[in-house]
Amino acid sequence: MPVIPRSGVCAMTLPPRPELSSAQQTLQWMTRPYGFLEECAATLGETFALDFRGYGVGVIFSSPEAIQEVLGGDPEVFWAGAGNGILKPFLGENSLLLLEGERHRRERKLLMPSFGRGRVQAYGELIHRVTQEICREWAFDAPFAVRPSMQKVAFRLIIEMVFGPERTERRQRLSRAFAAVLDDELFNLALLSQRAGGEAAGARWAQFVGQLDELSALIYEEIDERRTEDQQARGDILAVLLEARDEEGQPMLREEIHDEVLTLMATGHESTATALAWGIYWLLSSPQVYARARREMLALGEACTGGQIAQSAYLEAVVKEILRLTPVIPVIARQVQREVKVGGYTLEPGMVAMPAIYLAHRRAEVFEEPERFWPERFLDRTYRSHQFLPFGGGVRRCIGARLAMYEMKIVLGTLLRNVDLELAGERALRPVRRLVTIAPSGGTQVVRRRESALCESP
């Protein structure tokens, strides 16, 4: 790849960057994110700059030291919310993803009880049950894409975790509206239409906004009804938010609860479903790992619980290795607010510091044989937070990280116990962009074999 040399002002501030136009760089990033990062790192080095059309200059860092400088740096210098600004029309201005400073600290503190260890572990049987119900729908000997099923599992889980187990008519409408909003084609068109402009783009945007308004109205109905009820005996996330009080004893505003509910619904299932689809691919591509994991799960016996599945150290290592090789969010964005040095380079206000999770996870000096799917590496040693960071880091680390890990372990463990799968179709999956995540092409095509263990026939 041709490289633009550093000269003039750029020699003092920016690392090398590809000799491509801003539009070409953006296209490469949108259509082949993993491959483009790898090519840039191979030709430009561990630190390089990219010019994203409409967003400005991003500086990609992959060394653990530089990543620590950014994620462990002053949050008043490295703003995370600004990097997520494109999501504001969808999630609202009160979303935790968009807040900075004191507002972010307050909101995060109010949300944290929803993701404590005890509350997360209470979801074990729900995760176990829903996964069993979904896998019973799979026919034998017929190829199918597993990602839609993982989306279905994660979707049902997040709805019940946020709102509770009731299956009311409004809850069904809310689920349908949520599914329509997160339709990948419409969502991506809506994102692009903000930038493209024009009459056609406006029509697509109007269609999306109409669906989003319907979803918001239903969420507000849930909030308003629940505000009149006693929440003490409930265990869902909405109940926690309604009961939350800040240090001054003030409750969350109606609009704040709405935006956080929408954020949790959107982020709490999309990334997990995609990671599970990658996980099934890696397991089925690695016969020895698949055999060991399945053997351990079957050894638990027929009466095991979701919590028992989650206790498997090997299964936890499998999940970590999945997230290492194919992080569904490949980079982290932090907008620089004042001049700062990172990795020997001077970043100016408005630039975006971008720790590259994908590249950091493939550094040979940190991970032996980095291209190999080898969960045992996580049994042999512990990696530092700036070496292995599938959920980001610092004060902006994903608030739902514990829940995501727990959910992935139980879903994969339940599948290993209940169905015997093999890959169908292409063996080397291409990473493709889906909403804000990077998903496996074709949704991971699999076949259910008849040697299934514990699951009932469909």
Tokens at 330, concatenated: 């490949």
Q: Does residue 76 lie within any of the structural domains?
A: yes
| CB hemisphere CA count around 77 (13 angstroms) | 15
Rounded to an integer, the average pLDDT of 340-362 is 96
Distance in angstroms between the alpha carbons of the first and the last residue of the chain: 52
Tokens at 276, concatenated: 């599970």
Report residue 153's pLDDT band, with 50, 70 and 90 as the boundaries: very high
Q: Which pLDDT does position 456 carry in this prediction?
A: 42
- Burial of residue 194 (number of CB atoms within 10 Å: 0-12, 13-18, 19+): middle
Q: Does residue 373 lie within any of the structural domains?
A: yes
Q: How many domains is the chain built from?
A: 1
Quick check: 455 and 135 in contact, CB under 8 A?
yes
CATH number of the domain bearing residue 279: 1.10.630.10
Quick check: 207 and 188 in contact, CB under 8 A?
no
Tokens at 450, concatenated: 């008849």
Q: Does residue 353 lie within any of the structural domains?
A: yes
Which DSSP string do the residues of 392-437 spell out, in sequence order? --GGGS-TTHHHHHHHHHHHHHHHHHH-EEEE-S-SSPPEEEETTE
Instruction: Measure the CA–CA gap between 146 and 292, rounded to whole angstroms.
Output: 21
Q: Which pLDDT does position 5 carry in this prediction?
A: 43
Task: Please give the torsion angle defined by the CA atoms of residues 289, 121, 99 and 153, in that order, rounded to the nearest 10 degrees.
Answer: 60
Q: Does residue 38 lie within any of the structural domains?
A: no
Burial 290-303 (b: 16+ CB within 10 A, else e): bebbbebbeebeee
Quick check: 458 and 136 in contact, CB under 8 A?
yes
Tokens at 185, concatenated: 């084609």
Rounded to an integer, the average pLDDT of 323-330 is 98
Q: What is the pLDDT of residues 30-52, one digit of tens each?
A: 999 999 999 999 999 999 999 98
Instruction: Measure the CA–CA gap between 187 and 426, rounded to whole angstroms.
Output: 27
Rounded to an integer, the average pLDDT of 55-72 is 95
- On the question of pLDDT at 23 being above 90, the answer is yes
Q: Which residues participate in the annotated binding site for heme?
A: 398
Q: Does residue 331 lie within any of the structural domains?
A: yes
% pLDDT > 90, the chain: 75
Three-state SS at 325? helix
Rounded to an integer, the average pLDDT of 317-331 is 98
Instruction: Measure the CA–CA gap between 25 and 51, rounded to whole angstroms.
Output: 7
Task: Please name the helix (run of DSSP H) or strand (run of DSSP E) that holds residue 277, with its range, or none.
Answer: helix 254-285
Domain that holds residue 142: 55-164+234-449
Which DSSP string do the residues of 176-228 spell out, in sequence order? HHHHHHT-HHHHHHHHHHHHH-HHHHHHHHHHHHHHHHHHHHHHHHHHHHHHT
Q: Which pLDDT does position 87 carry in this prediction?
A: 80
Tokens at 398, concatenated: 């994903």
Q: Does residue 31 lie within any of the structural domains?
A: no
CA 369 vs. chain centroid, Å, equals 25
- On the question of pLDDT at 7 being above 80, the answer is no
Q: Which residues participate in the annotated binding site?
A: 398
- Per the document, the length of the chain is 458
Q: Does residue 50 lie within any of the structural domains?
A: no
Q: What is the pLDDT of residues 216-242, one digit of tens each?
A: 999 999 999 999 888 888 889 999 999
- On the question of pLDDT at 457 being above 80, the answer is no
Q: Does residue 455 lie within any of the structural domains?
A: no
Rounded to an integer, the average pLDDT of 122-136 is 96
Report residue 191's pLDDT band, with 50, 70 and 90 as the boundaries: low
